Structure 1
């Protein structure tokens, strides 16, 4: 056993020098102190680097699940588009078309200054109203063709009768042309049934091509628009604003006469209104806010005036709009936002997810359509812990906007196109063995360099002393 231990000593890497053969120097002491300080500083820096995490960025083909839907969020105000006709449509390159979305869209009337007025409006898809057969009243004689009201006698008429039902029309409108004979026949029957001495209800009409300012003052944007005006004595009327409602029912003689009959009992009672009537707009604009779920293919969001049974004068349509927000995907929680801000390859700018925020686009010419082209890129953040449950998808986009004039009805279009390339950012940490290797390298390297420097200085001092002794001898 003793011989075995004696042989093992022969392979000792760290052979010891007897202490009486070593010599301590003041230079060596200072170098040892400096080397120890350097070792400690480098070790602490390496420990900090080991405890911190780094990120690795890769570009790869989008790995989103097949048929996954994308959430597009928006909040946009149109100061000159009435909530009565404002709609949101979606179409995509696969041929999908969804018109007049209502379930996830909220509409709130706004003024020209974009101030919200009143509560959100209930939006419903109204079916195409029924009409009398064409030519039904061609053979009827002695129909009293009512003279359209003008700005001169409009207020006088409203003040004279408790209830006035007015048809705002345009002669060129197809639906107005179909309604005209029915309206005249219904007017005659209602006036015969409730003559002047009764004075509870009157039918009238306004030609909006002749009385443009009058129609615009009542926010008429689609033709025909049938409004119910109540004289009454309520506060709204005293302040100069006429409380009125919109009739959206069938446009047959029987339906209009029945509608007049249902209104008569409320004559002289301004606060009694029919539940079937819609509140007519009191402001010219509309704020549309909400979201839509779309397929991950190129598509377009259309903000446009649309209604079954109404025509629009394209020169009247003004699609000026303010984009309060427009972003793709889900907003991150504060924790995920901090994580995203820390790991994002280029950092986060204030508009990193919403390049259109608080942007204002003005229609300087009639029949102007605004188009915004968005290129959307997906960035996936995978933290070191819980990569599956803690991963977060962040969508960013670049946008280019322009305005053009066309013969089609003006609109605001948001066209989006998704990049097939996904940016994957993975949070990584250094392996423990690299930390140990680097620590050994720091200690051994500093010790070796200090030893070499000590040997050089020691030999240099000895050489200088020998030279001095040789000159003295």
Structure 2
């Protein structure tokens, strides 16, 4: 029994927290103040540490993008206050050889009055060809109409509407001249429809699906076509300058331009990435022969939340340039978006702290505050004792 008692006595020598006798403990007002302040600081820091533990954070990583063969969705919304819808054409071309003139799939044009109020919204190909009277023309003129030397888009070789003549001209690479010389256009009142829409603006919006390679898409006046491997626009009406007192120019407002899927996860992606930096850009001009160019650097982005499927999107930066074409210089006025695809992929990984890291932080807070508070209390206590001794000896003023 005595041997067991001696073992416990020896074990006490390992106590790193030796206790002082209560008779030698001195409680002071400054010590109480330091203890209270320390407790408040510990409580505040512990609460902050808990919130940090419960709040996920996003970590970024940069890797090589391996999804180069995928398609790239583009969502856009642009308003042209001084351009009628029937005069605007959307074209897409890229370094992979894709060349789409008059892109219309999932693209809508909204006719606007001079006050910017909506007049009519339809699919781009329906509004752009001004062929609302085509059915009536077919009933009145069932015979085979002439294509005026062009190759018809129909199997029977006929061009019974003004729009069919126009498409036949485009297929041949010809500019569409004066509609007054085309019987179909006269019968459908083509000139009157153009003049009725001359004092209008246009909002064009929708979604493009393009190859994920370097290229451009642009919105320019006139019907577009290819001739001898060249991209050409029929600018006959646009370069006349005015029609019914309305001046044509490429002034525009970009409401939005985003790359990537637009779904319920778009808000999460928008909070972390730069998805729509061109939103709100306004350009105004009085020049007809002006080119607006936006050079876009697009970077693929992946967001991996703690729960749920990964979100794939794109962010981009841009530079811009505008220039007026001299009369003797060939060029196409319009708004051009030149896309350069980065070979890198940014990954945002959502992470949450573990309980062990929270516990480590909590112990560090408590231990650190108590240690510092102890030092402060010791200094204040010694300073107070020294001061009292000087008072007792009458050495203070």
Q: TM-score, normalised by structure 1?
A: 0.57
Greater alpha carbon shift after TM alignment, 4-13 vs 293-302: 4-13
Corresponding residue to 1:378 among 287, 290, 299: 299
Find the counterpart in structure 2 of residue 266 from structure 1.
Answer: none
Does structure 1 retain, via aligned residues, the 8 Å contact 2:300–2:315? yes
- 1:329: which partner in 2? 259
* Aligned with 1:12 (options 15, 24, 30): 15
User: What are the residue-to-residue correspondences of 1:40-439 with 2, within 5 Å?
Assistant: 40-58=43-61, 60-61=62-63, 63=65, 65-78=67-80, 83-84=85-86, 86-111=88-113, 115-120=117-122, 123=125, 130-131=147-148, 224-227=181-184, 244-246=188-190, 282-284=196-198, 286-302=202-218, 303-306=220-223, 313=236, 315-316=239-240, 318-330=248-260, 336-337=266-267, 340-341=270-271, 343=272, 353-355=276-278, 357=280, 359-362=282-285, 364-365=287-288, 368-378=289-299, 380=301, 382=303, 384-386=305-307, 389-391=309-311, 393-405=313-325, 406-408=329-331, 410-439=333-362
- Structure 1: distance between partners of 2:223 and 2:9: 101
CA–CA separation in structure 2 for the residues paired with 1:458 and 1:132: 108
Unmatched 5+ residue regions in structure 2? 132-144, 151-160, 163-168, 170-176, 228-232, 242-247
Shift of 1:67: 1.0
> Secondary structure at the residue paired with 2:97?
coil
Which one has a bigger Cα radius of gyration? Answer: 1
Over 3 Å counting, the alpha-carbon distance change for 1:414 and 1:304 in structure 2 is farther
2:277 and 2:28 mapped to 1: Cα distance? 68
Please state how far the C-alpha of 1:400 moved relative to its aligned partner. Answer: 0.7
Structure 2 counterpart SS, 1:435: helix
The verdict on how the C-alpha distance between 1:377 and 1:462 changes in structure 2, with shifts beyond 3 A counting, is same
Q: CA deviation at 1:96?
A: 1.7
For residue 120 of structure 1, give the secondary structure of its aligned residue in structure 2: strand
Once the two structures are superposed, residues 196-252 of structure 1 have per-residue CA deviations (whole angstroms, 9 ceiling, x without a partner) of xxxxxxxxxxxxxxxxxxxxxxxx87685445667xxxxxxxxxxxxx4459xxxxx
Separation (CA, whole Å) in 2 of partners of 1:404 and 1:21: 91
**Alpha-carbon distance, 1:70 to partner:** 1.4
User: Per-residue deviation at 1:326?
Assistant: 4.3
Q: Do the aligned partners of 2:65 and 2:300 also contact (CA within 8 Å) in 1?
A: no
CA apart distance, 1:377: 3.5
Structure 1 unaligned spans of 5+: 134-164, 167-174, 176-219, 231-243, 248-278
TM-score with structure 2 setting the length? 0.66
Distance 1:464 1:120, change over 3 A: closer
Deviates more, 1:377-386 or 1:64-73: 377-386
1:353 is displaced (CA, Å) by 0.6
Cα pair distance change 1:96/1:6, threshold 3 Å:
same
2 CA distance for matches of 1:379 and 1:64? 10
Q: SS state of the match for residue 94, structure 1?
A: coil
Q: Deviations over 1:406-445 (max 9, x none)?
A: 4355444332223344444444443433332332232223
- Conserved 8 A contact 1:222-1:312: no
Residue equivalent to 2:140: none
> Is 1:447 aligned to residue 377 of structure 2?
no
- Three-state SS of the structure 2 residue aligned to 1:17 is coil
In structure 2, what is the Cα distance between the partners aligned to 1:121 and 1:471?
100
SS in 1 for 2:47: helix
Is residue 303–residue 312 contact of structure 2 (8 Å, CA) maintained in 1? yes
Q: Within 1, Cα distance between the matches of 2:55 and 2:235?
A: 63
Task: Check the 8 A contact 2:68/2:213 in 1, yes or no.
Answer: no
